[in-house]
Structure formats: C-alpha cells, structure tokens
Amino acid sequence: MTLAAAFAAARADGRAAFIPYVMAGDPDLETTALILGALRAAGADAVELGIPYSDALADGPTIVAAATRALKDGVGIDDVLNVARRAPGLPVLLFSYFNPIFQYGVERFARAAAGAGVAAVIVPDIPLEESASLGAVLHERGLDMPLLVAPSTGRERARRIADRSTGFVYVVSRTGVTGAGRVPDFAAANARLDDLRELTDKPLAAGFGVSRPEHVAQIAPFADGVIVGSALIDAYWGTSGAEAAQRVFDLATRLREATTRQTPPAERAHELSV
C-alpha cells in the first residue's frame, strides 16, 4: 500500500491514520521485525522506522537512548533497510538525520531505500532552503519527503514548507524535542492544524508529545494522521522478542482505537468557514 492510499483508507474509515515510530535495532533487529508485525496487527496505517544516530537534536531522552542502544550493536543503514523489507504490508517512512544519509551517499541511499520498498524519508534537520536537492533525488526514486512545521513557524514559511512537502506535512504539536514527558497544548495544536488546512490540501500528520490514547483522541479530529513514538519505546523497554512485541501491540491497539473521529477535517474546515 502506498502512503497516499494509507491516508485515503483511514479517511474512508472515519479516522486519522495511526503512524507509530520505532527505532530500528532497539533492543535488537529481530525484535524490531517482530514489533513491526505487532504494529501491523494492531492496525497501524504506516510506520516510521528510525535510523540510529548519535546527535539526534530533535529527539528526547527515550529515542536518544534507543538510538544509543542500537548504535552500540553496530546497527547501520543497511541493517535498517533489511528490516524495512520485512515490514508486513506497511508503508515504511525512514526517519533519519541528514548526516547518516550524506555519509552513506545521497544517490546510493535513495536507490537503496526505494529497493527496500520504503515509501518516504523524513529528515528533521534539513531546512527548507536546503531541501530541494535531496527532495529531487528522492522523488526520482519514487520516495516522498515530508517536511516539518514547528509551532514557531510563521504562516508564510509554513505555506512554503507545505508546498515543498510530499506525502504529508509533519506538524510538530509542541515546542522542544520528542518524548512523552510534556503534554502538548492541544487547543493550540488543533488551531494550528485548522490554520494549515487553509494553506494546503496535503495530509497533515501531528506528532511530538502525543503518547496516550486520550491525547490521540484530542488531536485526531483535526489531523489526517497521528504520530506516536516515545511511548511505544517506553512500553517495551527492558524486554525483547515476543514480550516486547506484545507490549507494543497492547498499547498500539488502544492508540489506534482512539483515532476514530466524528467529523473529518475537510468538513471541519467547511464548518469553521460558514
């Protein structure tokens, strides 16, 4: 299934797409593969698969610790792509900082990612002004590149980011780094989603700080997709194998159930304009 088809299927089902994040290689690559299967069974629509990196500036302590554990085991891009090939029918969105891609070779990376069946690549540290060349290389291989809109991003710049984004627009729901420790201001995040709806017709997926079913339920009526990461890593921390996969399945099932909404975003936008 393509990323566009995943969003369309979720919309037809009357809910926001559920997009969980996992760090590849934490606690080990075989467990990551089992977790991907658990997420598919729990109803995930797509999955973000993190490439471990030692200087993850946008990530909080949970994801940084997961990356550190994976790096200690020597997990690299080729290992992550091998896991991506095992994702059971899920669109895989690689989440990587630019330096690992640069070191690997941009053209080589795009070719390898496409060969592994990856749907999109999210690069949180690449600014809008430097995104065109990478986006073009990825586009040549059929890969989308969603860009991030932060709470502090001005409206005109947000419009330009949305115009450059492909696949969807990643809407950061709070300031700071990822993690479940600080809850977003959902009123502000939802107002931002409504405002961005006026600037683009691309899907809007919200993440950062969304960690509980009640959080998902608050933001799902306003977003096309909801991204949850640190809470899932916290759920399986200290375990591996089938136990880790079961813990992820249990939480992911509850998160997925919370994505159902009463009014789709497109209809909300019409209601607000009347």
Which residues are known catalytic residues?
48, 59
Structure tokens at 6: 């995943």
Neighbouring-strand partners of residue 133: none
CB 229 within 8 A of CB 20: yes
Identify whether 27 is preceded by a cis peptide bond (ω within 30 of 0): yes
CA distance 124 to 146: 9
Angle between helices 155-164 and 186-197 (to 10 degrees): 60
Q: Which of 245, 260, 168 is nearest to 213 (CA)?
A: 260
Residue carrying the six token digits 């304009």: 273
Alpha helix segments (H runs only) across 85-120 = 98-104, 106-115
Closest CA relative to residue 44, chosen from 84, 83, 85, 89:
89
Residues 181 and 75: their CA atoms lie apart, in Å, by: 27
Residue 40: partners with Cβ closer than 8 Å, 6 or more residues away: 87, 88, 89, 90
